[in-house]
Copies of this chain bind each other. A is one copy, B any other.
Amino acid sequence: MEDFSGYPIHAPIDYSFAAPNSLLSFLSVDSTALENQIDELSTFSDTPAPSVTRILYTEKDVLARRCALLLVFTLCGLILRYHKENACFHGIDWGMGICKLQYIKNLMGLSGLSVREDAVGNIFGRWDGYEPDLAPVATGSHIDAIPYSGKYDGVVGVLGAIEAINVLKRSGFKPKRSLEVVLFTSEEPTRFGISCLGSRLLAGSEALAEALKTTVDAQNISFLEAARSAGYAKEQDDISSVFLKEGSYSAFLELHIEQGPILEAEGLSIGIVTAIAAPASLKVDFEGNGGHAGAVLMPNRNDAGLAAAELALDVEKHVLGSGSIDTVGTVGILELHPGAINSIPSKSHVEIDTRDIDEKRRNDVIEKIHQSATTIASRRRVRLSEFKIVNQDPPALSDKSVIEAMEATLKELNLTHKMMISRAYHDSLFMARVSPMGMLFIPCYKGYSHKPEEYASSHNIGNGVKVLALTLAKLSLK
């Protein structure tokens, strides 16, 4: 129980949709601490700074969930400084500080949240409300990072959510509905080719639970084996225990960097997401005869690499031909086999991402990409050995009540904002299937994301945390 003068325990003021000046004036974000945490978390990476690479269930992912090495070094540093200042240097061994403290879970604990994890490593930190039987309000995001990306994508929505809880606690606020911070497992598809793995399962995807029994990564390590090595999925192969019941949460709200340039360009503080574009991903394989790059004359070739190159350009053509600026399509992976300069590619592998706020228009693009793949294969006499639609999700709409709570908050905080579409997708896309959903964006530098130059200012992050905190307070009291 918190104890703060002026607020009687179990009898809070009704903040709903009109925060009193007393709460507003106590809403203070510790931006320095939050910035340090973002920097610290970014060091749990498989590639050098400023890039971040944190892949599901790898050592760095597990450490980021669990081990706060830097905290310990900070402690060592303090001790060392103390000894130095007291002219008594004992040659402390800096290496000895390695321990099993938990990073994200430790921060949740320090904020007084009770922590649990599910079978795939979604992590939940709960602040019990004074009516704990009511469905809680949840907030959260992810901390995994694709190769050579930045330190804000997802992270702002996890560390920011924990800080939002701290903000409310420091203000003396008492939630009616419990508040829950969620760290979602593997929003990025890097390791197993499945995006939003944790939230898809929370949303009850039977198909995914079934598929994960046999899913393997590029090194042929099974999902279950990898999960177990990280300390999850201990007791069962069936991970349907992860599914949330509908009604588990009264609302879900995610704070995220925009990953686009609009807010910054228009000088706005906050974006309220009204809908999340419908994503789809495809895998395509071509096979030809390969052969020696010198010896096989051009008319005798069926080059699987050129088929892939042509398909990549056709993806761009079909996307541009959709007639809407909202259609996007990307070939982020294109691999050639055997991958030698003097060998005609005998196999190629292409992975395609395409999205639109209009599901039908997005599906039309997928159909055209399929036609292209077939035509290219036929014309180049290569075999289209795979054309697989890995996922083809519908778009999600934000919930009216969550949007209204955000709008009211922004008015009270006197922050500028605009309503916008999320073209990137997020765990919110899947949380919308089991809970009223909302998202709020903060500006980021030039819209950069998924690369080391990704950046959001401490000021903008602070605004986002404040809006998140006050909106969670409102939703908690509903």
B340 lies within 8 A of A147 (CB)? yes
B258 lies within 8 A of A295 (CB)? yes
Least CB separation from A193: chain B residue: B341
Q: Is A300 part of the binding interface, using a Cβ–Cβ cutoff of 8 Å?
A: yes
Q: Is A20 part of the binding interface, using a Cβ–Cβ cutoff of 8 Å?
A: no
A296 lies within 8 A of B260 (CB)? yes
A339 lies within 8 A of B333 (CB)? yes
User: Which of B260, B293, B305, B308 is within 8 Å of A328, CB to CB?
Assistant: B293
Query: CB-CB < 8 A to A423: which residues of B?
Result: 294-295, 297
B333 lies within 8 A of A450 (CB)? no
Query: CB-CB < 8 A to A299: which residues of B?
Result: 325
Copies of this chain, complex-wide, total 2
User: Which of B309, B336, B341, B450 is within 8 Å of A313, CB to CB?
Assistant: B309
B332 lies within 8 A of A293 (CB)? yes
A295 lies within 8 A of B332 (CB)? no
Which residues 254-282 of A have a CB within 8 angstroms of B? 258-261, 277, 279, 281
Known contacts A295-B423, A310-B313; is A333 also within 8 Å of B340 by CB? yes
In whole angstroms, how far apart are the Cα atoms of A308 and B312 in the complex? 10
A342 lies within 8 A of B330 (CB)? yes
B334 lies within 8 A of A292 (CB)? no
B313 lies within 8 A of A346 (CB)? no
In whole angstroms, how far apart are the Cα atoms of A451 and B313 in the complex? 28
Known contacts A146-B340, A188-B340, A341-B353; is A309 also within 8 Å of B294 by CB? no
B339 lies within 8 A of A147 (CB)? yes
In whole angstroms, how far apart are the Cα atoms of A296 and B454 in the complex? 13
Q: Is A225 part of the binding interface, using a Cβ–Cβ cutoff of 8 Å?
A: no
Q: Is A435 part of the binding interface, using a Cβ–Cβ cutoff of 8 Å?
A: no
From residue A259, how far is it (CB to closest CB) to chain B in Å?
Answer: 4
In whole angstroms, how far apart are the Cα atoms of A449 and B277 in the complex? 47
Query: CB-CB < 8 A to A422: which residues of B?
Result: 294
Known contacts A146-B342, A306-B312, A338-B147; is A293 also within 8 Å of B448 by CB? no
Q: Is A320 part of the binding interface, using a Cβ–Cβ cutoff of 8 Å?
A: yes
Query: CB-CB < 8 A to A295: which residues of B?
Result: 258-260, 423-424, 447, 449
Query: CB-CB < 8 A to A306: which residues of B?
Result: 312-313, 316, 331
In whole angstroms, how far apart are the Cα atoms of A259 and B293 in the complex? 10
User: Which of B281, B294, B325, B341 is within 8 Å of A333, CB to CB?
Assistant: B341
B292 lies within 8 A of A449 (CB)? yes
Q: Is A291 part of the binding interface, using a Cβ–Cβ cutoff of 8 Å?
A: yes
Q: Is A351 part of the binding interface, using a Cβ–Cβ cutoff of 8 Å?
A: yes
Known contacts A312-B306, A345-B332; is A447 also within 8 Å of B296 by CB? yes
Query: CB-CB < 8 A to A339: which residues of B?
Result: 147, 332-333
8 of the cross-chain contacts (CB-CB < 8 Å) are A188-B342, A259-B295, A296-B447, A298-B319, A298-B327, A306-B312, A306-B313, A334-B336
